[in-house]
Amino acid sequence: MDRFAHIVRIVRAHPVARRTTAHSPPREIIQSMLIGVRPLRALALVVLLAVLGCHAQAPSATEPVQAGVKLSPELARRVEIMIRSKAEVSNDFTISVGEPTKSDIPGYAQIALTFAAEGKAPRSAAFLISNDGKTLAQLNKFDISQNPMDKISAAGRPARGGPANAPVLIVGFDDLECPYCAMMNAEIFPAILNRYKNQVRIVYRDFPLNEIHPWAKHAAVDSNCLASASTSTLGYWNFVDYVHAHASDIAGTEKSAVKANQNLDKLTLEEGARQKVDQAALVACVLKQDNSAVNQSVLEAEADPLRIDSAPILFINGEKVNGVVPIETIYRIIDRALIAAGQTPPPPVAKPAPDAAKLGN
């Protein structure tokens, strides 16, 4: 367990390897309000104020809200000031309150608020306003009809651990030049397989960070060449394990991508010979360096709903885990997934007894 603690201490300073180019612009105040924390906090405050008002002095009169009838300027201003206050919207933004429409929530109509500022594209967000004009709320609706596991494909990828119908599937987005991926590969995955045996199946998807790891994509292509030329997954995993364990030596003393690529090709062919694969097919694949499958894996990872920009990233039956985390956290997530699948997790891992000599110091 000391080794895990050492990993976590390192990763708290550098939790993941991340792309140097962002995939989306930094969140502005209005963006955060539209998608997350601020509207939920604001909703709680707004509703609380309405409830407390029932026991305090009578609120000022407000006109009823009707679908298809614009709010009065006075009520629209109340809405605007409340949103500016609770969501901390900059005064640089103008807020336009749309005409109420019918909502799915009894006693409430829906209004659209449009936020605009010079040089920025307008953005809209939907809110609910009570029919008596006294309460403003925001409802966040999420589609949970799809099994989270279905969002991450493991089709056609080499796997280790349990069978294809194992109750827990772990999909890791891996960069073969990433030191944090190497930590996870060397420490956490063996611990998982040792504890859960055939209850867990592990698959890697390619996610080389080309901007910071110059030979990672070449390594991914070579590993896939081994996988496609082999009748078993042993050659692929032997290659992956070796490269992760010796990543600091792959580029040689020159520390060049050219030397790294040469060494990777040599390792691939040597592993292919050990696995008795079709050498002609393997050589042709290595020489071709077709990276289309790797590029497609990256594109799928970056797109919705995954939106990945760093490695390592795990999905445990669809639940996302960012970076290297303590093994106890991984165990808890797997245990939850097993219970949801109707399986019984293994007994809890016993913690080592305290060192009496150290306690006496």
Q: Where are the beta strands (DSSP E) in 67-181?
A: 94-97, 101-102, 108-117, 120-130, 136-137, 159-161, 168-174
Q: What is the pTM of this model?
A: 0.72
For 23, 49, 328, the CA distances from 133, given in Å and listed in that order, are 41, 13, 49
Contact 132, 60 (CB under 8 A): no
Phi, psi for 55 (deg, rounded to 5): -110, 0
Q: Which pLDDT score, from 0 to 100, does residue 95 have? A: 95
State pLDDT tens for residues 71-96: 999 999 999 999 999 888 888 899 99
What is the token pair recorded at 32? 């955060």
Is the confidence at residue 357, as pLDDT, over 70? no
Q: Which pLDDT score, from 0 to 100, does residue 17 have? A: 77
Q: How many other CB atoms are found less than 10 A from the CB of residue 35? A: 12
Range name among 60-69, 133-142, 144-153, 154-163 with the lowest pLDDT average: 60-69
Q: Which pLDDT score, from 0 to 100, does residue 116 have? A: 93
Contact 219, 185 (CB under 8 A): no
pLDDT band at 141 (very low <50, low <70, confident <90, very high): confident
Nearest to 65 by CA among 134, 126, 131: 131
Contacts of 13 (CB under 8 A, 6+ apart): none
* Mean pLDDT of the region 112-137: 93
Phi, psi for 223 (deg, rounded to 5): -65, -35
From CA 343, how far away is CA 199, in angstroms rounded? 9
* Mean pLDDT of the region 20-45: 40
User: Which top CATH class is 9-14+147-340?
Assistant: alpha beta
Q: Which pLDDT score, from 0 to 100, does residue 210 have? A: 92
Architecture of domain 37-137: Roll (3.10)
Nearest to 317 by CA among 332, 302, 303, 304: 332
Which residues pair with residue 202 across a beta bridge?
A: 160, 170
From CA 42, how far away is CA 80, in angstroms rounded? 13
What is the token pair recorded at 137? 């709320």
Q: Which pLDDT score, from 0 to 100, does residue 358 have? A: 58
Q: Which pLDDT score, from 0 to 100, does residue 355 have? A: 62
From CA 297, how far away is CA 294, in angstroms rounded? 5
Kindly report, as residue ranges, where domains of CATH 3.40.30.10 are found in the chain. Answer: 9-14+147-340
For 6, 195, 340, the CA distances from 349, given in Å and listed in that order, are 19, 9, 20
Of all residues in the chain, the percent with pLDDT exceeding 90 is 69
Kindly report, as residue ranges, where domains of CATH 3.10.450 are found in the chain. Answer: 37-137
DSSP-derived letter for residue 152 is: S
Q: How many other CB atoms are found less than 10 A from the CB of residue 161? A: 19
What is the token pair recorded at 311? 């490695």
- Of residues 114 and 55, which shows the higher confidence score? 114
| Distance from the first to the final alpha carbon of the chain | 21
From CA 78, how far away is CA 133, in angstroms rounded? 10
pLDDT band at 51 (very low <50, low <70, confident <90, very high): very low
From CA 86, how far away is CA 173, in angstroms rounded? 38
Q: How many other CB atoms are found less than 10 A from the CB of residue 187? A: 16
